[in-house]
Amino acid sequence: MALLTSLLQPLRPPFRKLLARWVDLRLVEPDPHTLGLDPNKPTLYILSRTALSDSLLLEAFCARHDLPPPDARLHLGPHALKACVPLPRPGRRLWGRLPPAPAPFAALIDELKQHPDQDVQLVPVSVFWGRAPGKTFGFWKLLAADDWKLTGRMRRLLSVLINGKDVELHLGAPLSLRELSDGRSSELTSRKVSRLLRVHFRRVRTRVLGPDLSHRNILIEGVVASPVIQRTIEECATALGQSPQRMRRRAWRYGREIASNMSYPVLRFLAQLLHRLWNQLYAGVRVNGLERAKALAGDHTLVYVPCHRSHIDYLLLSYVLYREGLMPPHIAAGRNLNMPMVGPLLRRGGAFFMRRSFKDNRLYSAVFNEYLHRLLSRGHPVEYFIEGGRSRSGRMLTPRPGMLAMTLRSYLRGTHRELAFVPVYIGYEKVLESSSYLKELQGSVKKEESPFDLVRVLGQLRQPFGQVSVNVGEPLRLGEFLDGCIPSWRQAENDTRPPWLTRAVPALGRELSRRINAAASLNAVNLVALVLLATPHRAIEAELLKEQMVMLTDLQRLHPGGVHLSLPGGTPDEWLTAAHTLGFIERRDQALGELILANSQQATLLTWYRNNVLHLFALPALVAFAFRNNARLDRDTLYELLAPAWPLIDHELSVSLPGNFRQALDTTLESLVSLGLLRHENGIWRRPPSHEADSERLSLLGRLIQPSLERGYLLLAALLRYPSGSLTREELEEHSRQLAERLTLLSGLNAPEFFDRRLFSGLLDTLEEEGWLWREGSHLCFDKALAAAQLRGRVLFDPGLRHRLRQIARQ
């Protein structure tokens, strides 16, 4: 072997040049200049396997990026070692496994013990030629791509030839060999270093390739043959008076209806197709915070929970994960998407389909639960939308309990790895469904999906859609969450339906909603919508609009409404141009200066984009609204006014606050003072004089929260008109909805989202959780405290607005 190596040594330079010309690195992670290599320490590169192609590729890569050369030799004392070595693996022979070759670290460790001033930095390197079996269609592609199996020399040669344009190189953080030496013998320390490196390489492969995919039929067979499903089949057969064989065939049909058929060739095909589609549709796809998911992907089962604003959310997220070196997830999709042509393609891209409701079908529910459990227990990444469906209002919808409850029950059954939820916020400057959302915002009935929708999308490809942002929020480790929420949860081992589940699921949904919103993306259209819709007639001077947009971004820099918020780049002029190019506003030159206007349709559609990010400004807007009818307030009075209203706003908008409400209120007051929107002196806060520009800016900010406060006022006014125990929840929801609809008509607004019944349902949920309401039978009850709180809250509203709301409530 040594002779062969010496004979091939003169051929390495031409082979390296040839490989460098042929190979394109699709992904390098991380940026090599961020590794922080110490130029004064020798560098030893560790490859995950013995492969000439990997070492030659690494040599060409290091030469291109001015990194220490892997083909050099390290000289420590009498020892000379090549600067790039593979991690030894156990060998194989016909009658068993060979012991692994000794790791090359023992001699280095001995030398370091004799020279305390020296050190060696180890850099683990993983190279992936293709992402998994079957990178693209064809038998040779299937043979040549990387997978969990070790590749032989012939297969590696095929992989270099076929997958040379789809190579990923992952560099690990440098490790100090001296720090890893803990005083034990050199042999034991060498084994420890080898074990640490093997764990690192295994985590990287798990993150990139995911678990090995079982054949779909084998997976379905395992689901149907599981003890849980067999027991359910016997019970359903007895209850329905049918034979177990017939129920077993039905379980098989359910399994085929549900299960995905993820195909690596299709994933690769979709990656290329979507790459062209995004470049055609969008001016750019910005990705922020993905390193949080990458840090967990190696040893956690990931459940991605994005907000749901568009049908392309799941395509976009899978594309981003694939391009950034992570395994695309299995995606829970509604059965309505299992359409001809579309459904089979989505299924091969990782979608598994679920019925909208299956609580009355015990066998289907059991099959779906078992299928989800098998995905999670094997470590497959999963994705679903906790809102259930797309948000037609633009705001975060109340989480549905179904998938969250099934995930919790699966976790309680036991999984091999810890489970972590990854919240994802997807922000569009313009969604493909703008026209259908406009119709629905104007009151039209939701239209069912159809394969012909694809034709309509293709007709829009030449339209501008601006940018799209994919922001990853703070992951939530399920075990840690349950420790804080239900300290005794570990006592429910193997109990998949503990009594505390009904408390944990809503709490988990609310926390995930807050984490999604805390990673919001503020863009040009959001900013224009926030300012323009706060004006009485949807018209504003261009200069004032630009000043207000700057103020809103400055406010987020001082007091961000989300921990992982992203702000728009560019200037106010560029933001205004972007909104106009996308068709959301009209620009009209006038002798005294340019005006910005929105017609009725534009204003209605802008409400959707305003609601995307309204939660970011909820508390500053609430404080600003308090000064609409109050010229001066001290901290305690302001707290007493706003504290009762905050839980209602928090529930509607899923706001993430740093600390408690009082601390957040203090920070908000400081931010508003620093921006000149409030004056502070001797513990008293005052609004600016009405003739100053800051007064108008404060008023525009306060109007952002006015619709939410008006809804709450109408609901309480409708409830308090009757004695306690007079109304059912359904009656109050419908009566409040009618009052809100009347208010929009009398105000000349075309905004059906303002009187969405689900918003009033959420308000009632919060009032019950806070103890203001309770039920006796089916009727809602309250005491004098609620009337007193409403009376105190009236101070927030100026007399004119209060009179208008009171007149409508009396009707």
252, part of any domain: no
Q: How many domains does the chain have?
A: 4
82, pLDDT greater than 50: yes
Tallying the residues shown for the chain, one arrives at 811
Are 694 and 732 within one domain? no
Q: What is the mean pLDDT of the chain?
A: 84
What three-state secondary structure class fits 751?
A: coil
- Residue 167 and residue 273: Cα distance in Å, rounded? 18
Task: Answer yes or no: do 585 and 695 share one domain.
Answer: yes
> From CA 779, how far away is CA 730, in angstroms rounded?
9
> Both 281 and 200 in a single domain?
no
For position 142, what pLDDT does the model report? 45
Q: Are residues 48 and 8 in the same domain?
A: yes
- Here the CATH number for the domain that contains residue 757 is 1.10.10.10
Last residue of some domain: 687, 702, 717? 702
d(CA 607, CA 455): 27
Tell whether the model's pLDDT for residue 148 goes beyond 50: no
**Shared domain check, 587 and 561:** yes
Q: Is 232 part of any domain?
A: no
Question: pLDDT per residue over 561-620, tens digit each?
Answer: 888 999 999 999 999 999 999 999 999 998 888 999 999 889 889 999 999 999 999 999
Q: Are residues 344 and 488 in the same domain?
A: yes
Contacts of 241 by beta carbon, 8 Å cutoff, 6+ apart: none
Evaluate whether residue 34 is within a structural domain: yes
Q: Any residues with CB less than 8 A from the CB of 774 and at least 6 apart, and which?
A: 768, 780, 781, 782
Same domain, 502 and 627: no
* 238 domain-assigned: no
Helix, strand and coil in the chain, % to nearest 5: 55, 15, 35
For residue 530, is it within any domain? no
CB 205 within 8 A of CB 125: no
The DSSP secondary-structure symbol of 288 reads E
Rounded-to-integer distance, Cα 295 and Cα 280, Å: 32
Q: How far is CA 761 from the centre of its chain?
A: 26
**454, 484, 517 - which closes a domain:** 517
Angle at CA of residue 551, ends 549 and 557, nearest 5°: 110
In a domain, 205, yes or no: yes
Q: What is the rounded CA–CA span in Å between residue 383 and residue 580? A: 35
Please indicate, yes or no, if residue 218 is contained in any of the structural domains: no
CB 70 within 8 A of CB 59: yes
Residues 768 and 780: their CA atoms lie apart, in Å, by 9
Q: Which residues pair with 351 in a beta bridge?
A: 331
- Whether the CB-CB separation of 129 and 145 falls below 8 Å is answered with yes
Q: What is the spatial distance between Cα 656 and Cα 650, in angstroms, rounded to a whole number?
A: 8
Give the CATH number of the domain where residue 367 resides.
3.40.1130
Same domain for 747 and 660, yes or no, is no
- Helix H, strand E, coil C: the string for 233-282 is HHHHHHHHCCCHHHHHHHHHHHHHHHCCCCCHHHHHHHHHHHHHHHHHHC
pLDDT at 737: 86
* Structural domain of 335: 263-517
Same domain, 691 and 723: no
CA distances from 810 to 720, 742, 744, 745, 804 (A): 11, 12, 16, 16, 10
How far apart, in whole angstroms, are the C-alpha atoms of residue 250 and residue 567? 51
Least confident of 107-111, 417-421, 689-693: 107-111
Is residue 291 located within the same domain as residue 399? yes
Is residue 241 left, alpha or beta, with left meaning phi > 0 and alpha meaning psi from -120 to 50? left
Torsion of CA 480, 486, 489, 491, to 10 degrees: 130
Kindly indicate the confidence band of residue 2, based on its pLDDT and cuts at 50, 70 and 90: very low
Flag whether pLDDT at 61 surpasses 50: yes
For residues 307 and 382, membership in a common domain is answered with: yes
Highest mean pLDDT among 29-43, 99-113, 455-469: 29-43
On whether both 362 and 432 belong to a single domain, the answer is yes
**What pLDDT sits at residue 371?**
93
- Decide if 571 is inside a domain: yes
The beta-strand segments (E) located in 1-117 are: 25-29, 43-47, 73-76, 79-82, 84-86, 92-93, 96-97
